[in-house]
Structure 1
Amino acid sequence: MTADDTLWDLEERFWTQGADSARHATAKGAVFVLPYPAGILQGDALWREKDVAQRWRSVEMSEHYLSRQNNIAVLAYRVSAERSDEPIYEALCTSTYLNDDGKWLRLAHQQTPLI
């Protein structure tokens, strides 16, 4: 698996495997910017917020963009995600990762919902 494949796999698991998986792939001090009312979250707030790292039943990512410079990678994409009893969620997203001793860790994640 290439580094690019690994990053996209991590990103998909961020959506589908819940908070524990996301916590293990997220750097200490990471910052998430999520739609209102969650807002800007950092530290323990990332894992207390009900809208963060909740498991989605299905996720479709499209319009993939990836930029890597040394140990930093930025992913940008469009997501269509579904979970039970909620309308399909569509957003434009970015995630920034740091390769820390061979392990990719998420430093930042941002979502802009499509209306």
Structure 2
Amino acid sequence: MTEDDTLWDLEERFWTQGADSARHATAKDAVFVLPFPAGILQGDALWREKEIAQRWRSVTMTERFISFKSIIAVLAYHVAAERSDEPFYQALCTSTYLNDDGKWLRLAHQQTPLD
């Protein structure tokens, strides 16, 4: 599996697996910028937010871009995500990862809804 594949796999699991999985792949003081009302979240506040704790049933990531600079990687993409009993959610997203001793950890995540 390439570095690109590893990062895209982590990003998809961020959307589809539980908060515990996301927490293990996220740096301790990561910063997320989510749509209102969640807003800007950091540290333990991330895991109390329902948008992080509640998983999506399916996601499709298109318009994928990835950029590496030393031990930092930035992913940018369009997401279409679905939960039961909710309309499709579409957003432009970025996630920044740090390679910490061979393990990729999410430092930041941002979503701009397209609704």
Please tell me the TM-score bracket, short chain as reference: over 0.9
* SS of match in other structure, 1:51: helix
* Aligned residue in 2 for 1:105: 105
What CA distance in whole angstroms lies between the structure 2 residues aligned with 1:89 and 1:102? 33
What CA distance in whole angstroms lies between the structure 1 residues aligned with 2:54 and 2:81? 11
Unaligned runs of 5+ in 2: none
Task: Give the structure-1-normalised TM-score.
Answer: 0.98
* Aligned residue in 1 for 2:40: 40
**What code does the residue aligned with 2:90 have?**
E
Q: Write out the 4+ residue segments of structure 1 that deviate beyond 6 Å after TM superposition.
A: none
Q: Point out the more displaced range, 79-88 or 49-58.
A: 49-58
Aligned residues: 115
* Aligned residue in 2 for 1:67: 67
Task: Give the structure-2-normalised TM-score.
Answer: 0.98
Counterparts in 2 of 1:54 and 1:86: CA distance versus 1, 3 Å: same
Which string of whole-angstrom CA distances, capped at 9 and with x for unpartnered residues, describes residues 7-61 of structure 1? 0000000000020100000001000000000000001100001111421100000
What CA distance in whole angstroms lies between the structure 2 residues aligned with 1:53 and 1:96? 20
* Aligned residue in 1 for 2:8: 8
Unaligned runs of 5+ in 1: none
